[in-house]
Amino acid sequence: MMMRSVGSPASVLGAGAILMALASPAAAQQSDQIGRGFAAAVKSAALRSATASLAAAAAQAAPSDNPVLKFFAGTELSGFVDTYYTYNFNKPTSPCATIGGVAAFNCLHNFDFTHNSFSLNLAEIALEKKPAMDSRGGYRVDLDFGPATDWVHGSEPGGVETYKHIQQAYVSYLAPTAKGTLQFDFGKFVTWNGNEVIETKDNWNYSRSLLFALAIPYYHTGIRAAYRPTDKVTVTGFLVNGWNNVVENNTGKTVGVSLTGKPTGSFTIVANYTGGPEATGNNADWRHLFDATASYTASKAASVAINYDSGTDKSSNQTWQGVALYLKYQANDWFAVVPRYEFLKDKDGFMTGASQNMQEFTLTTEFKHKDGVLMRIEYRGDFSNSSGGYFITDTTGLKKNQHVLTVGWIYAFSSKTP
Q: What's residue 70's pLDDT?
A: 72
**C-alpha distances in Å from residue 2, one per residue of 5, 6, 8, 9, 163:** 10, 13, 18, 21, 81
- Nearest to 139, CA basis, from 176, 166, 162: 166
Under a CB-based contact definition with an 8 Å cutoff, are residues 107 and 351 in contact? Answer: no
CA–CA gap between residue 164 and residue 102 (Å, rounded): 13
Q: What's residue 21's pLDDT?
A: 39
Under a CB-based contact definition with an 8 Å cutoff, are residues 285 and 294 in contact? Answer: no
Torsion 28-34-40-46 (CA) sign:
negative
Under a CB-based contact definition with an 8 Å cutoff, are residues 76 and 414 in contact? Answer: yes
Q: What's residue 397's pLDDT?
A: 85
pTM for the model: 0.83
CA–CA gap between residue 392 and residue 386 (Å, rounded): 13
Instruction: Residue 284: count other Cβ atoms within 10 Å of its Cβ.
Output: 10
Tens of pLDDT along the chain (418 residues)? 333 443 444 443 344 433 333 334 444 444 455 455 545 554 555 556 555 555 555 555 555 577 777 767 789 999 999 999 999 999 999 999 999 999 999 999 999 999 999 999 999 999 999 999 999 999 999 999 999 999 999 999 999 999 999 999 999 999 999 999 999 999 999 999 999 999 999 999 999 999 999 999 999 999 999 999 999 999 999 999 999 999 999 999 999 999 999 999 999 999 999 999 999 999 999 999 999 999 999 999 999 999 999 999 999 999 999 999 999 999 999 999 999 999 999 999 999 999 999 999 999 999 999 899 999 999 999 999 998 899 999 887 899 999 999 999 999 999 987 6
Q: DSSP assignment of 116-178, as one string?
A: SEEEEEEEEEEEEE--BTTB-EEEEEEEEESHHHHHHTTT-TT-HHHHTTEEEEEEEEEE--S
Q: What's residue 17's pLDDT?
A: 39
Q: What's residue 30's pLDDT?
A: 46
Q: What's residue 41's pLDDT?
A: 52
Q: What's residue 62's pLDDT?
A: 54
Q: What's residue 318's pLDDT?
A: 94
CA–CA gap between residue 215 and residue 321 (Å, rounded): 8
Q: What's residue 66's pLDDT?
A: 76
Q: What's residue 25's pLDDT?
A: 44
